[in-house]
A and B are shown apart, each in its own frame.
Chain A
Amino acid sequence: MTADEDPLEASAEELYEDAPCGYLSTTMDGTIVRVNRTFETLSGHRREDLIGVARFQDLLAPGDRIYHDTHHLPMLHLRGAVREIAVEVMRPDGSRLPALVNSMVRRDREGAARAIGVSVFDATERRRYEQGLLEARRREHEVALELQRGLLTGAPPAAPGLEIGVAYKPGVSDLEAGGDWYDAFWLEEGAAVALVVGDVVGRGIGAAATMGQLRSAARALAAGRPEPGALIDALEGYSRRHAVGRMATLVYAELELDVGRLRFACAGHPPPVLVAPGAPARLLWEGRSTPLDARPSAPPRRDDVCTLPAGGAVVLYTDGLFERRTRPLDEGLARLVAEVEARRDAPAEELAHGLVRAMLPSGNADDVCALVARRRSAPEA
């Protein structure tokens, strides 16, 4: 009885030829020595045109050929097997077969690599789905950036005694962009200004939306002129009640222009840098507490006060500015202070941008933001 009559009795040869995936055997350089019928059907190539003539990589789309020679083969040499490589096989009629490829090195008795077994799976539908997902992810990244940009527009307050500069660079990685925000607004026109820099957990559209809520809430709460610690307590209350922005960090500061009184609080956020004439730049380590809603209940938050003399500047920023995967944190902070020192007299805008340039010679995966407020002695009336 033949397999045509009873598939359960099919010979090894028949199982090979009509396996549910395309199958090729090649020499170590890819030259095809054997293919099965399924591969002929999937690829549209006839075996007599392939065997001894073509290499497997010759059948791939040009970009995939580069990928094959620079990634797939080296890995195969090292590991002996590679799985789930996405390629497009070129058909003789010019169409392409999206495929997933598994490869395995076959050895002789002495252990010498002699042949490569390649199985080829039709992945047309799966690839279409993946392309859709990639496209959706790209779009989400763009929407998040758009949303974030939209929320962060608007000229910062300006007055004869005040100069504010902002540098903001969204992260290049779509996995990390979307959560940083900055804000500067009048508490009392021409007399007192609020400065805020914050960072919410998460990424993408969700993070951008959360950031927008916290930013608006902070603005609304600031109207009552609470002390910075109390403002963050109230913001935490908002965060709890509305289940938004848990574990967000922020620094909030209030600057009175006439006397230079700077009152500030840091909720789990990196410390501001203060640079004043005649004194070295330093980190403001006071007024610290935990991120929003980090603990079920906590004592009232602390804040602290210092003086920002005329001619001095304070720098608020997010951790993307100084954090490096490969370097200790205090090293990054020390560098930041040194970079502020090096620009101690620069205009606010220049200082902010100069810092981002100097601190980020590398591609910033994460968002980065620096806000500088410089106090100028008011011109003689």
Chain B
Amino acid sequence: MLLAHGFGCDQGMWRHVWPAFAEDHRVITFDHVGHGGSDAGAYDPERHATLRGYAEDVLDIVRELDLRDLVFVGHSVSSMIGALAAAEEPDRFAHLVLVGPSPRYIDDEGYVGGFTREDIEGLLESMDSNYLGWAGAMAPVIMGNADRPELGEELAETFCRADPELARRFARATFLADNRADLARVRTPSLVLQCARDVIAPDAVGEYVHRALPGSRLVRLAATGHCPNLSAPQETVAAIRAYLAA
């Protein structure tokens, strides 16, 4: 099982999920280039200008570790990255689990992605103006307790820490993407996990992905928001398990 984090943070997003699969799967998590503990030197502006480059990275991991019969679990934008990778090398992928997928975030004729181009510009501005504030948010003086003290300092130090310029470009690659046409190329059986009240990947988009993906199942979670792997890890694990057992 290969778990890929979405836009914004790093593999720490899976910390409440992956242990539940460690017993009966070989579990692999990683950081996309520019995020968490990745080597920013591996970033290639041309390759990583679109999600295809990130899909190539996934395939590099898959080939390097010679993974077969793979369950790919992708959160947010990584569900599309996984779909692109699986379309490229279907033989290696047994299942795709897509958590909050969206093939296109910007509205189009006859399609509601939930955002306008101006909204995405707003996100980039938000990232810019939070560049300094974010450092403040990372300051060691933190009130209250972390929800899992056993995580240790290392994760707390690096979590959500991204190279600002690369994160900005990842935001562009993510939110300006249109991968609707790629869905039809995917032959891998898939599970679409849709949260309630997800503003980033609204219900209609999950429905769209489900309809466009041949042989997919759509499961609606009670969890709200865009990050059930954090806010409702047990429900997320249970849904994936139930799907894999079926």
Query: A residues bordering B, Cβ < 8 Å?
Result: 28-30, 55, 57-58, 61-67, 69-71, 73-75, 77-88, 100, 104-107, 111, 113, 127, 130-131, 134, 172-173, 324-327, 361-363, 365
For residue B119, which residues in chain A have a CB less than 8 angstroms away from its CB? Answer: 61-63, 66
With A55-B197, A66-B175, A326-B41: A80-B8 Cβ-Cβ less than 8 Å: no
With A67-B127, A134-B129: A80-B199 Cβ-Cβ less than 8 Å: no
For residue A82, which residues in chain B have a CB less than 8 angstroms away from its CB? Answer: 137
Choose, from B21-29, B65-73, B225-233, the stretch at the interface. B225-233
For residue B145, which residues in chain A have a CB less than 8 angstroms away from its CB? Answer: 80, 107, 111
Most chain B CB atoms below 10 A, which of A30, A55, A62: A62
With A83-B139, A107-B145: A57-B199 Cβ-Cβ less than 8 Å: yes
Choose, from B154-162, B178-186, B210-218, the stretch at the interface. B154-162
- Bound-state CA distance A84–B127 (Å) is 13
Task: Report yes or no: B224 in contact with A70, Cβ–Cβ below 8 A.
Answer: no
CB distance from B112 to the nearest CB of A (A): 13
6 A-B pairs within 8 Å (CB atoms) are namely A29-B224, A61-B119, A82-B137, A86-B130, A131-B129, A134-B129
Task: Report yes or no: B121 in contact with A63, Cβ–Cβ below 8 A.
Answer: yes
With A66-B200, A74-B8, A130-B129: A361-B47 Cβ-Cβ less than 8 Å: yes
Within the complex, which residue of B7, B41, B230 is in contact with A73, where a contact is CB–CB below 8 Å?
A: B230
> Can you name the residue of chain A whose Cβ is closest to the Cβ of B44?
A361
Within the complex, which residue of A63, A71, A362, A363 is in contact with B160, where a contact is CB–CB below 8 Å?
A: A71
CB distance from A43 to the nearest CB of B (A): 18
Instruction: Tell me the B31-51 residues at the A interface (CB within 8 Å).
Output: 39-45, 47
- Bound-state CA distance A86–B115 (Å) is 20
With A80-B142, A107-B144, A362-B43: A85-B151 Cβ-Cβ less than 8 Å: no
Task: Report yes or no: A77 in contact with B231, Cβ–Cβ below 8 A.
Answer: yes
CB distance from A85 to the nearest CB of B (A): 6
Task: Report yes or no: A362 in contact with B156, Cβ–Cβ below 8 A.
Answer: no
CB distance from A102 to the nearest CB of B (A): 9
Given contacts A29-B224, A63-B126, A66-B199, 15 further A-B contacts (CB under 8 A): A61-B119, A62-B123, A71-B160, A74-B159, A74-B160, A74-B227, A77-B230, A78-B12, A78-B155, A81-B142, A84-B133, A85-B134, A107-B144, A362-B40, A362-B42
Contact pattern, B 1-16, Cβ under 8 Å of A = 1, otherwise 0: 0000011110011000
- Bound-state CA distance A113–B148 (Å) is 11
For residue A75, which residues in chain B have a CB less than 8 angstroms away from its CB? Answer: 9, 137, 159-160
The interface size bin for chain B is: 35 or more
- Bound-state CA distance A372–B226 (Å) is 52
**Within 8 Å of chain A (Cβ to Cβ): is B89?**
no
With A69-B226, A73-B225, A365-B165: A127-B13 Cβ-Cβ less than 8 Å: no
Within the complex, which residue of B39, B43, B127 is in contact with A363, where a contact is CB–CB below 8 Å?
A: B43
**Within 8 Å of chain A (Cβ to Cβ): is B122?**
yes
With A77-B231, A84-B137: A67-B123 Cβ-Cβ less than 8 Å: yes
Contact pattern, B 44-83, Cβ under 8 Å of A = 1, otherwise 0: 1101000000000000000000000000000010000000
For residue B147, which residues in chain A have a CB less than 8 angstroms away from its CB? Answer: 77-78, 80, 105, 113
**Within 8 Å of chain A (Cβ to Cβ): is B176?**
no
Task: Report yes or no: A65 in contact with B199, Cβ–Cβ below 8 A.
Answer: yes
For residue A130, which residues in chain B have a CB less than 8 angstroms away from its CB? Answer: 129
Most chain A CB atoms below 10 A, which of B40, B144, B146, B197: B144
CB distance from B89 to the nearest CB of A (A): 22
Most chain A CB atoms below 10 A, which of B40, B41, B44, B230: B41
- Bound-state CA distance A86–B119 (Å) is 16
- Bound-state CA distance A363–B139 (Å) is 28
> Can you name the residue of chain A whose Cβ is closest to the Cβ of B164?
A173
> Can you name the residue of chain B whose Cβ is closest to the Cβ of A130?
B129
Interface of A is mostly: mixed
A-B interface, 3 closest residue pairs, ranked by CB to CB distance from nearest: A63-B122, A70-B8, A80-B144
- Bound-state CA distance A171–B230 (Å) is 37
For residue B165, which residues in chain A have a CB less than 8 angstroms away from its CB? Answer: 172-173, 363, 365
- Bound-state CA distance A82–B159 (Å) is 13
Task: Report yes or no: B130 in contact with A67, Cβ–Cβ below 8 A.
Answer: yes
- Bound-state CA distance A62–B125 (Å) is 11
CB distance from B46 to the nearest CB of A (A): 8
CB distance from B99 to the nearest CB of A (A): 13
> Can you name the residue of chain A whose Cβ is closest to the Cβ of B160?
A75
- Bound-state CA distance A85–B42 (Å) is 30
- Bound-state CA distance A75–B142 (Å) is 11
- Bound-state CA distance A320–B155 (Å) is 30
For residue A327, which residues in chain B have a CB less than 8 angstroms away from its CB? Answer: 41
Task: Report yes or no: A81 in contact with B144, Cβ–Cβ below 8 A.
Answer: yes
Within the complex, which residue of A64, A81, A362 is in contact with B44, where a contact is CB–CB below 8 Å?
A: A362
For residue B42, which residues in chain A have a CB less than 8 angstroms away from its CB? Answer: 362
Task: Report yes or no: A80 in contact with B143, Cβ–Cβ below 8 A.
Answer: yes
For residue B40, which residues in chain A have a CB less than 8 angstroms away from its CB? Answer: 325-326, 362
With A66-B200, A75-B160, A80-B145: A325-B41 Cβ-Cβ less than 8 Å: yes
- Bound-state CA distance A3–B147 (Å) is 39
**Within 8 Å of chain A (Cβ to Cβ): is B239?**
no
- Bound-state CA distance A77–B156 (Å) is 11
For residue B128, which residues in chain A have a CB less than 8 angstroms away from its CB? Answer: 134
CB distance from A136 to the nearest CB of B (A): 13
Task: Report yes or no: A74 in contact with B13, Cβ–Cβ below 8 A.
Answer: yes
Within the complex, which residue of A64, A73, A74, A106 is in contact with B126, where a contact is CB–CB below 8 Å?
A: A64
For residue A57, which residues in chain B have a CB less than 8 angstroms away from its CB? Answer: 199, 225
**Within 8 Å of chain A (Cβ to Cβ): is B110?**
no
